[in-house]
Chains A and B, each alone.
Chain A
């Protein structure tokens, strides 16, 4: 072959590749088969479980193929890019920060008309539904996750204190939490923070870790102290009320006054990535951690000697519930009916392992009320004895839905003003009152009300 011919062929090949790249739109189905794409995020364990669920759906529905689109990182960026390119999946997880916008743009299927066809979807906990207007339902929170007080049994035994209560009625007061956290905090020389010579820069075991920048971690405390994020109309921010200030001052004091909790970066492994609660408890880096129910799966997988307690309370005990992303069906696909069928299937504890394994809590009310139904997901090795009171009863009686499902425009509020202010509280440079009084009017300026809610 002459060199010139070689060049020509190279040119042709390049053009061919370009043409092929332009021509291939995603989501084209094989001959005859209905092909659905399911997009989701999660841990490696979740990936395996979701794939299994999708396979069993395909087995029950001959002629339907489901392609899993596992997207562990940068989910919002990738989903935004797919939408901009007009190449959306059929259904899947949608971050709450995007789901309401997509629903209003008509990119998500209104599931309200389908509630009659799928009665199991109609029996959900009221807070699970994600409404974007009257009779307009763009999805449900994938699972009903709540915040809990996880602890290392070994650390509790070493300190010789009673374990955090697993029943909401006997939850610790904030002062009791602080008192116990002192006993659980130990520096490299074995000293506690209330002993002289304690070295706060060389702490071997922190008493407690609770995030200040993650709203789900503190929203239960806020409500328990009689405060809220915004007023009834959802137009005025209430973070400058004395009750709210007290909650955040207490959180700041854990780090800077009592020195029983890690400050910014102290637990970090890479950037903002703090090691999982399972690792923190197993290594006894921290004795008690406020984290979501989903930690249970990793806790079991890595064989941690853990216990579950309810969060400390101010007056009435509360915990943040529905801490999850949305599950939704995308509009405009060729197979919307089949996609809704899979939607109803993917969050049904009868078919999905993730409930028994401890990653998800069901959304159907009967799984919190009916004994046989409760046993169907909690009576197994993955769920400790205190699970019934510390999680099932706690979620049913004391859950308040996460702000992300409820406050309009929260995504912009968080990234533009709220998170920076919370980081400042965390840094301990100024008291919480000063910071909250400065940021509250800014948040009020961005508030657009609460999301719509209604009975089914």
Chain B
């Protein structure tokens, strides 16, 4: 440290000290448990007993665990539906909120508001909306003379219902899109106008390409988050009916805390982690083809 000035030394010391709570928090509450769960995933451990080493048995057992595949299927189905839908809805709303209209900040607040509602409160609200007898959705359908549904109480419609529900909290994604939209340089739009292009051309040739980095970011964050969907299964459906909404993390939770199969649950957690890593990696590989950065090469 001889080369550092007093000021730099001070900053370095205080910098670490200031970051300490975050660093300690990460080490104690994230990194530590991760390492521990990796070790536990190689054991047969029931709460109350002592772990015994079983090698990769927990991992190989998954291949023949019907519910592992069921839960992976349900989660994938949900992700494939929810992520694109949230992206489209939040992008569309962000475009609307990027116009110069009266009461803009009020509109932005209103559209963001559902994001501030706690997740569980949200879920309870939607339980009522989906109630087959007196829920909002079926009441509206009946008044319009349309057939009503069983929503989360029917195997076939449970996941589509939850996908529709997922759009409710699009606020955060929308705000990021909005920020992205405001970063699109004006002169590009002007150039299109000079060439005689209308609204569609402005969208197709300027907005969309310029927004691809933002779309990509929201896509990756959305996929990572959606693969860990839990609350809906935990509060609304308990994985039912007939395992239709047995999401991966809910299955993991059930194994760990209800059946106290900690070893197997840890292995499930690591497999999910690997799945998310692989998907993220594939998304990044694929991104080279469609994500355009304003300054080529700058990432």
The reply to whether A423 and B240 form a contact with Cβ atoms under 8 Å apart is: yes
B257 within 8 A of partner (CB): yes
The reply to whether A265 and B48 form a contact with Cβ atoms under 8 Å apart is: no
Identify A271's interface contact among B48, B236, B242, B258, CB under 8 A. Answer: B236
The reply to whether A107 and B48 form a contact with Cβ atoms under 8 Å apart is: yes
B interface size (C-beta, 8 A):
36
A268 within 8 A of partner (CB): yes
Q: On chain A, which size bracket covers the interface?
A: 35 or more
What is the minimal beta-carbon distance from B49 to any residue of chain A, in angstroms?
A: 5
With known contacts A264-B150, A423-B240, A415–B131 Cβ distance under 8 A: no
A231 within 8 A of partner (CB): no
With A and B bound together, what is the CA distance between A77 and B254 in angstroms? 9
B154 within 8 A of partner (CB): yes
A98 within 8 A of partner (CB): yes
Interface hit among A120-128, A177-185, A333-341, A424-432: A424-432
With known contacts A14-B21, A264-B150, A420-B240, A415–B258 Cβ distance under 8 A: yes
B17 within 8 A of partner (CB): yes
What is the minimal beta-carbon distance from A142 to any residue of chain B, in angstroms?
A: 20
The reply to whether B238 and A427 form a contact with Cβ atoms under 8 Å apart is: no
Please indicate the chain A residues that have their CB under 8 angstroms from the CB of B131 in the complex. 265, 268
Closest-by-CB residue of A relative to B260 is: A80
What is the minimal beta-carbon distance from A425 to any residue of chain B, in angstroms?
A: 9
Closest-by-CB residue of B relative to A426 is: B241
The reply to whether B48 and A424 form a contact with Cβ atoms under 8 Å apart is: no
A242 within 8 A of partner (CB): no
B237 within 8 A of partner (CB): yes
Please indicate the chain B residues that have their CB under 8 angstroms from the CB of A7 in the complex. 17
Closest-by-CB residue of A relative to B50 is: A105
Contact with B along A198-214 (1 / 0, CB 8 A): 00010000000000000
A97 within 8 A of partner (CB): yes
A275 within 8 A of partner (CB): no
The reply to whether B124 and A266 form a contact with Cβ atoms under 8 Å apart is: no
- Residues B147-176 near A (CB distance < 8 A): 148, 150-155
B229 within 8 A of partner (CB): no
The reply to whether A76 and B258 form a contact with Cβ atoms under 8 Å apart is: yes
Please indicate the chain B residues that have their CB under 8 angstroms from the CB of A272 in the complex. 237-238
B243 within 8 A of partner (CB): yes
The reply to whether B242 and A415 form a contact with Cβ atoms under 8 Å apart is: no
The reply to whether B241 and A264 form a contact with Cβ atoms under 8 Å apart is: yes
A42 within 8 A of partner (CB): no
With A and B bound together, what is the CA distance between A201 and B141 in angstroms? 13
- Residues A397-430 near B (CB distance < 8 A): 411-412, 415-416, 419-421, 423-424, 426-427, 429
With known contacts A14-B21, A412-B259, A83–B47 Cβ distance under 8 A: yes
The reply to whether A105 and B46 form a contact with Cβ atoms under 8 Å apart is: yes
Please indicate the chain A residues that have their CB under 8 angstroms from the CB of B238 in the complex. 271-272
What is the minimal beta-carbon distance from B19 to any residue of chain A, in angstroms?
A: 12
What is the minimal beta-carbon distance from A412 to any residue of chain B, in angstroms?
A: 6
A437 within 8 A of partner (CB): no
What is the minimal beta-carbon distance from A437 to any residue of chain B, in angstroms?
A: 16
The reply to whether B132 and A266 form a contact with Cβ atoms under 8 Å apart is: yes
The reply to whether A266 and B259 form a contact with Cβ atoms under 8 Å apart is: no
Number of A-B contacts (CB under 8 A): 87
A270 within 8 A of partner (CB): yes
Please indicate the chain B residues that have their CB under 8 angstroms from the CB of A412 in the complex. 259
A84 within 8 A of partner (CB): yes
With known contacts A11-B17, A271-B236, A423–B48 Cβ distance under 8 A: no
With A and B bound together, what is the CA distance between A272 and B123 in angstroms? 13
With known contacts A84-B47, A107-B48, A427–B124 Cβ distance under 8 A: no
What is the minimal beta-carbon distance from B147 to any residue of chain A, in angstroms?
A: 10
B192 within 8 A of partner (CB): no
- Which of the listed residues B20, B238, B258, B262 has the most CB atoms from chain A within 10 Å of its own CB? B258
Please indicate the chain A residues that have their CB under 8 angstroms from the CB of B254 in the complex. 415
B113 within 8 A of partner (CB): no
- Residues B224-259 near A (CB distance < 8 A): 235-238, 240-243, 254, 257-259
A433 within 8 A of partner (CB): no
- Which of the listed residues B21, B236, B241 has the most CB atoms from chain A within 10 Å of its own CB? B241
A101 within 8 A of partner (CB): yes
With known contacts A105-B48, A264-B153, A427–B242 Cβ distance under 8 A: yes
Contact with B along A232-265 (1 / 0, CB 8 A): 0000000000000000000000000000000111
Please indicate the chain A residues that have their CB under 8 angstroms from the CB of B236 in the complex. 271
With known contacts A83-B48, A423-B241, A424-B241, A415–B155 Cβ distance under 8 A: no
The reply to whether A265 and B242 form a contact with Cβ atoms under 8 Å apart is: no
A279 within 8 A of partner (CB): no
- Residues A55-77 near B (CB distance < 8 A): 76-77
B219 within 8 A of partner (CB): no
User: A residues bordering B, Cβ < 8 Å?
Assistant: 7, 11, 14, 76-77, 80-81, 83-84, 97-98, 101-102, 105, 107, 201, 263-266, 268, 270-272, 411-412, 415-416, 419-421, 423-424, 426-427, 429
30 interchain pairs, CB-CB under 8 A: A11-B20, A14-B21, A77-B258, A80-B260, A84-B48, A84-B262, A101-B48, A102-B48, A105-B46, A105-B49, A264-B153, A265-B130, A265-B131, A265-B151, A265-B153, A266-B133, A268-B153, A271-B127, A271-B236, A411-B258, A416-B67, A420-B241, A420-B243, A421-B242, A424-B155, A424-B241, A424-B242, A427-B155, A427-B241, A427-B242
- What are the 9 tightest A-B residue pairs by CB atom distance, in nearest-first order? A265-B153, A264-B153, A423-B241, A77-B257, A105-B48, A424-B242, A420-B242, A420-B243, A80-B47
